[in-house]
């Protein structure tokens, strides 16, 4: 068995992009992330050497940051090829936070089966990746896995139903991956799949038909007040007009994330402690919280919008040091980029409800300008597009892969901590 230490994160970050793809349950609630790494130098995503190196990258950053910061309260699916599986460095990962995803390139040799069994005894859980049929390897590995991931895109037409019946087992969960349409989601639901993954859920149009609630209208009104520089008294009156907003504001300022030294019981005091900059951020995020009242950070839409906002903010801060206002505008662009999905209306109609700068409008409507270029880059990352296209977009923004990688990690850490206070 190989004895290897994970490579240094600073070296690996020069060649890899990071992406997190949400995994949802039947109630469309966030239960895990798959951590995806894309090679910035290659158009190919499936070289065995790249797989090993990508796994080592996950482990290196897990030991540096802790997976709790990377995935929050959720589990992490981490890809492993045969080399990674057989290497000692896999034990750097916390067995209670990860599900090791055995890649389709792994053969079910006696050595591999023994290693999987050994790691299961040590507390690790396993998923079998990219299953499209009942091969000999699949049959041997399935009993040792907790989750079976079925690639619904690469299957022959009309074979999904039969495969689902064969694989369905009380001891394993079925996960449908590469789900991209409402029809595919419904078919997999009907076939008994329990977990779902794909771009359909990274941008969940499942919220179609959702109406703007009274609390959300109140949030939009408060954002307008902030935009036109309303007085503290006007802001306080606006908050007090909606009991749910007031309640959530008081809850937020009394959490460790805000760091108030004493209990705060008045709206006016809460607004003073939070400050206008943080108030604007909080209101933008609150739009994605169901009825303005839930404390659970399990909405993929909320997670994605907040992540976009913080990533663009940090990108602007990196590229234009000292331009705090520009960085705040970047946060707004990222957070607002999913409001059309949230409200199930055209983005132009959303922007008719909120007074925004021309640069923000151009980015959100046309993906144009500097903010639009950064938003486009993030959307490509979310889709898991090939590294060469991402590298070209980074070159346009005059950023290196390592810089984006570090920004993503910092954004993940901030989002995890901040949204726990909502």
Kindly state the helix (H) or strand (E) to which residue 20 belongs, with its residue range.
Answer: strand 16-25
Tell me what percent of the residues of the chain surpass a pLDDT of 70.
72
Contacts of residues 373-376 at CB distance under 8 Å and 24 or more positions apart, as own/partner, are: 373/397, 374/312, 374/315, 374/316, 374/330, 374/333, 375/308, 375/312, 375/333, 375/334, 375/337
In angstroms, the CA 360 to CA 337 distance is 10
Distance CA 333, CA 374 (A): 10
| pTM, entire model | 0.62
Residue 10 has pLDDT above 60, yes or no: no
Of the residues 151, 168, 202, which one is the last residue of a structural domain?
202
Task: Please state, for a pLDDT cut of 90, what percent of the chain lies above it.
Answer: 24
Find, among 128, 123, 158, the residue nearest to 143 by Cα: 128
End-to-end CA distance of the chain: 46
Same domain, yes or no, for 30 and 162? yes
Rounded mean pLDDT of 332-338? 85
Assess if residue 288 is contained within a domain. yes
Mean pLDDT computed over 178-201: 87
Specify whether 26 is located in the same domain as 161: yes
Residues 301 and 372 in one domain: yes
pLDDT at position 321 is: 93
Q: Which pLDDT does position 66 carry in this prediction?
A: 61
pLDDT score of 243 = 62
The arithmetic mean of pLDDT across residues 371-376, rounded, is 95
| pLDDT tens digits, one per residue of 231-287 | 888 888 777 766 667 766 766 776 655 655 666 666 787 788 888 888 888 887 777
Q: What is the pLDDT of residue 65?
A: 54
108 and 180 assigned to the same domain: yes
The pLDDT mean for the chain works out to 78
Q: Would 2 be classed as within a structural domain? A: no
Higher pLDDT, 239 or 206: 239
Query: Are residues 172 and 223 both part of a single domain?
Result: no
Q: Which of 20-34, 55-69, 153-167, 358-372 has the highest mean pLDDT?
A: 358-372
pLDDT at 295 over 80: no
Residue 114 lies inside a defined structural domain of this protein: yes
By residue count, the chain amounts to 422
Domain assignment of residue 340, given as a range: 206-422
Tokens of 350: 């959303």
Q: Does residue 314 have a pLDDT over 90?
A: yes
420 and 337 part of one domain: yes
Same domain, 234 and 377: yes
């Amino acid at each position: 068995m190989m004895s290897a230490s994970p490579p240094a994160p600073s070296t690996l970050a020069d060649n890899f992009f990071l992406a997190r793809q949400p995994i949802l349950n039947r109630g469309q609630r966030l239960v895990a992330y798959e951590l995806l790494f894309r090679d910035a130098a290659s158009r190919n995503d499936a070289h065995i050497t790249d797989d090993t190196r990508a796994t080592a990258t996950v482990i290196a950053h897990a030991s540096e940051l802790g997976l709790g910061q990377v995935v929050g309260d959720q589990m992490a699916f981490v890809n492993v090829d045969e080399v990674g599986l057989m290497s000692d460095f896999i034990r750097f990962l916390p067995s209670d936070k990860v599900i090791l995803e055995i890649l389709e390139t792994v053969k079910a040799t006696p050595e591999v089966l023994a290693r999987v069994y050994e790691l299961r005894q040590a507390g690790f859980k396993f998923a079998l990746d990219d299953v499209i049929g009942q091969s000999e390897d699949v049959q041997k590995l399935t009993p040792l896995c907790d989750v079976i991931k079925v690639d619904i895109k690469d299957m022959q037409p009309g074979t999904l139903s039969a495969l689902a019946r064969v694989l369905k087992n009380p001891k394993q969960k079925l996960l449908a991956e590469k789900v991209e349409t409402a029809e595919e989601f419904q078919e997999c639901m009907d076939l008994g799949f329990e977990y779902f993954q794909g771009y359909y859920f990274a941008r969940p149009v499942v919220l179609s038909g959702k109406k703007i609630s009274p609390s959300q209208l109140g949030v939009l009104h408060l954002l307008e007040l902030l935009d036109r520089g309303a007085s503290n008294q006007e802001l306080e009156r606006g908050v007090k007009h909606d009991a749910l907003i007031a309640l959530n504001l008081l809850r937020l300022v009394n959490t460790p994330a805000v760091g108030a030294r004493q209990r705060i019981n008045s709206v006016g005091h809460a607004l003073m402690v939070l400050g206008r900059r943080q108030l604007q951020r909080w209101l933008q995020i609150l739009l994605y919280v169901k009825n303005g009242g839930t404390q659970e950070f399990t909405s993929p839409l909320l997670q994605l919008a907040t992540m976009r906002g913080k990533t663009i903010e940090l990108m602007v801060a990196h590229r234009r040091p000292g331009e705090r206002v520009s960085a705040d505008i970047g946060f707004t662009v990222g957070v607002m980029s999913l409001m059309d999905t949230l409200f199930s209306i055209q983005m132009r109609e959303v922007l008719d409800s909120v007074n925004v700068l021309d640069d923000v409008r151009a980015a959100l409507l046309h993906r144009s300008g500097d903010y639009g270029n950064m938003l486009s880059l993030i959307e490509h990352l979310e889709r898991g597009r090939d590294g060469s296209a991402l590298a070209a977009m980074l070159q346009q923004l005059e950023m290196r892969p390592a810089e984006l990688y570090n920004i993503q990690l910092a954004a993940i850490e901030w989002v995890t901590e901040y949204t726990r206070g909502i």
